[in-house]
Chains A and B, each alone.
Chain A
Amino acid sequence: MEKKISEKTLRKSFRHWFFWHGCSQQAESMLGLAFGQSMAPVVDELYDTKEEKAAGLKRHITLFNTEPQVGSISNGVICGLEEANANGTGTPELISSTKVALIGPTSAIGDSLWVATFIPILLTICLSIAQTSTELAWLGPVLYMLIYPAGTALLSWKLFRLGYRSGIDGMHGFMVTGQLDKLTSSMTVLGLLVVGALTASFVDVSIPFQIVRDVFDPAAGELLENQVIFNADDMLNSVFPGILSLGLTIGVYYLYSLKKWSPLKLMGLILLIAGALTALGYLTGVFA
């Protein structure tokens, strides 16, 4: 009789992966042990002898890594291959090599599409809600807490099913149809607009430098004391509002993206600049 993974076992395998993929992450096998735990019910159902089960488990606790939420598609694909193997139409070598081959593309898509694009965009939208009014500020985090886990769980499960049902070909179709590219570039447009607005609203840089003099006002014929005749911020902002915030952000982008500075180093640099500006402000009398 042909062997088939039951619906119940598939769900169990997915559940193990979804909740516990990160528990035992380490340098030797990365997410390998979590993958092994998620495959254990499948191996148990498909194979009868102790030896077959041992062999099945052993091939799934080797090195494996991915972006686990989108990467659940790999678990689906491997479930399909195990099923084929149990029915004699696949080989253990095929399973192992496919597993290794899946690491690269699933990590890349997961990280770039979901983690680096979707999460920040959803966060910025919820941030803007939290920002709108003090009374409704709680709505932002609460919405994120509901939408993100529910949406991700659904996506992760659908991808797992897709991987199981249509195997490596189905995954290929999902990745190269171009539909994904269009979606990503549209989300990028959304993200860039909001990030631009966030930069303008939240990045706050000012040069505390001003010149204060007593000025003689010919119209009134009297001496006006302590007039600000030059303010660095007002001057710069009349040229292009927010030019310093923009400059600092682009500077960080440049150092991070092109000069490969670490966030910690950048933090140190910002602290240094803030220190220098504080000193300048006290020297020129802007801060008292």
Chain B
Amino acid sequence: MDMYVNGIGMTPFGKFPDKTLKGMLLEAAEEAIQDAGHPKIDAVFVGNFMSGSVYNQEILGAIMANDLGLGAIPTMKVEGACASGGIALRQAYISVLSGEYDTVLVAGAEKMKHISTVEVTKAINAAMDNESNEKHAGLTFPGFFATIANRYFYETGATKEHLAKVALKNRNHAIRNPLAQFRVETSMEEIMASRMITDPLGLFDCSPTTDGASAIIISRTPSDVKIRASAQSSGPTQMQNIDDLLTLEAVKTSGQLAYEKAGVGPEDIDVIEIHDCFSMTEIVSSESLGFFKRGEGFMALEEGRTTFTGDVPINTSGGLLSKGHPIGATGVAQIHQLVLQLRGKAPNQVEQPKLALAQNLGGTGAYSTVHILERVN
């Protein structure tokens, strides 16, 4: 069965004390519904990670159906840490594939800027196994990717400057994205000198906390953007159980599954959104997805190959690092940018892309989704 993206919507990403979680969800959803030509919606899937723990608000699906005025249709919320949005999209995709629904609304949102850094860190740490000895050892999410980074440096000869090049590239992309959180110019010097969070990751190597929402409509009704593949995999929930620290196994497997379903390979993809929760993550995931060989992704940054004018354009939206990372919205917002790319209307527009790939990660590599889209007009 062929499936399509019919509409997209997205709020600006950033700090919005005057916007509520519901308000952002409705804003993004209305835009997507209008963009799709106001079709009849058969179901709603919402990706969200911590509305319960930090905002005391659940039933997001029912609230959306009610306040959008969609009637008695079924709804649900999907949680998979930072991959909540990608998993919501995949569940929506499967529901249409089953034949049960024809047209489905997928939304993702997070409200994070109203609480302190300590509170938000604690809430995010719920995406680690509470009973594991490594959480008790004081490991954090940046700490996990920093441990990968030190091993990566040791094995490949890459340095902190390569991480800085990821941060600088994504910032330069975000500057031209009107919906991005960080649109102020920076420099290698500022990035390299920024406050160390967990060695070797500094402030600019880490994605921020963000308020925001994004929404898309998918259906069997043909549009100019076809969904060629949807795939998901799980990986180790603990760093000490990872066989090869420089391969994100769930990313690799979900990528392989998606390529197989679409009948394409990494060399066929024209524009890419990768889950760059940290600068290091973009490099290892670009390798795990097959765009570069293991241990060689950092070289592409030296040659500018991953900027929007390069041959492997990654995170033309600005990525999580600079577009922002409202957790539940992230996986949906990646699709938003790729649909704009395929429509030829994106910030940092790549020249006539045909195939686009989005990869969304949750936990310490515990969840990964990959979606491949194709321009069909």
Q: Do A and B come from one complex?
A: no
Q: Which residues of A contact B (CB under 8 A)?
A: none
Q: Which residues of B contact A (CB under 8 A)?
A: none
